[in-house]
Amino acid sequence: MKNQEIARLFSEMADILEIKGDNPFKIRAYRRAALNIEGLTRNVEDLTRDELMEIPGIGKELAAKIEEYVTTGSMHAHEKLKEETDCSQYPPEELLRGIAEFNARAWFDCHETLEDLWTGEPGLVRDLYQGILQVAVGLHHWRDGNYQGATLLFRKGAQLLRHVAPVCQQVEAAILTRDVERFRARLEALGPERMAELEEGLIPRIRLRGKSTQEL
C-alpha cells in the first residue's frame, strides 16, 4: 500500500512549508490529509478521483497529487519543496572554499574544489555548484586567451545559475548571473583579438548574503 508513503510526503511538505513560514491553512491541509490517508483501510491505488475527494481534507489539488504519486512513484510538488529547502541550507565547507578561491582568482583551484561537490549532489542545488564551476573555468580560459572556451562556459554557467533561487545557500546567485552576463557581453563586444583589454573591474566576484566581497 502506498498510503503510508503518501502520508509521509504530505507530512514532510507540511514541515517544509512551516519552516518557510508559508500559509498556515495550507500547512494544516497537508497535515490533515496525511493523517486521514494514514488511517485509511483501503489502498489509495484502488480509489478513483471522486473516491479520493470523499476523504476528509482531500480536494481536487491533493487528489491530483495522490494520483501523480500512484502513477509515477514521485510527487513533483514534494521534490520542488525539497530542492528549495536545499537552497535554504548553510553553504557547505567545500562551497565556501571554492568561493574563496574564485574571488582570489584561483579559478582552476575553484574548479577542483567544486567538482566532487556538484557530482555528488542529487538535488537542484547542484546547478549552483556546477554553475559557479563553469564560470570559474570560463574565467580561467579567458585569462589563458581561449575566447571560444570562455564565452561558451559563461553561457552555460549563467544558464545553470538561473535554475536556482536568487539567493541559494547564501550565495547571491542572481547577482552573480548578472555580473557573468555583463562580463560575457563585454568580452563578445571586444572579440578574440582584444579580449585582453577587458576591464578588470568587470571580473565577477561571488557575494554571500550579508557579507561584503572583501570578507570572502
Give the tens place of pLDDT for each residue, 60-83. Answer: 999 999 999 999 998 988 888 876
The pLDDT score that the predictor gives to residue 13 is 87
Helix (H, G, I), strand (E, B), or coil: what is residue 179? helix
Residues in the chain predicted with pLDDT less than 70, given as ranges, are: 19-20, 83-85, 122-123, 211-216
CATH topology of domain 3-84: DNA polymerase; domain 1 (1.10.150)
Spacing of C-alpha 127 from chain mean position: 6
Closest CA to 27 of 69, 49, 57, 3: 57
Write down the architecture of domain 93-215 according to CATH.
Orthogonal Bundle (1.10)
Beta strands in the chain, from DSSP E residues, in sequence order = 167-168, 171-172
Question: The C-alpha cell of 100 is what?
Answer: 574563496
The Cα–Cα gap between 10 and 201 comes to: 48
Topology alike, domains 3-84 and 93-215 = no
**With a threshold of 0.75, does the pTM exceed it?**
no
Torsion sign (Cα): 96, 157, 79, 112 = negative
Q: Provide the terminal-to-terminal Cα distance of the chain, rounded to the nearest Å.
A: 51
* Phi, psi dihedrals of residue 212, rounded to the nearest 5°: -80, 160
Amino acid in position 60: K
Residue in this structure with the C-alpha cell 476528509, named with its chain if needed: 56
* Domain range annotation of the chain: 3-84, 93-215
Task: List, for residues 190-212, the tens digit of each pLDDT value.
Answer: 999 999 999 999 999 999 987 65
Question: The C-alpha cell of 153 is what?
Answer: 562556459
Closest CA to 107 of 155, 140, 151: 140
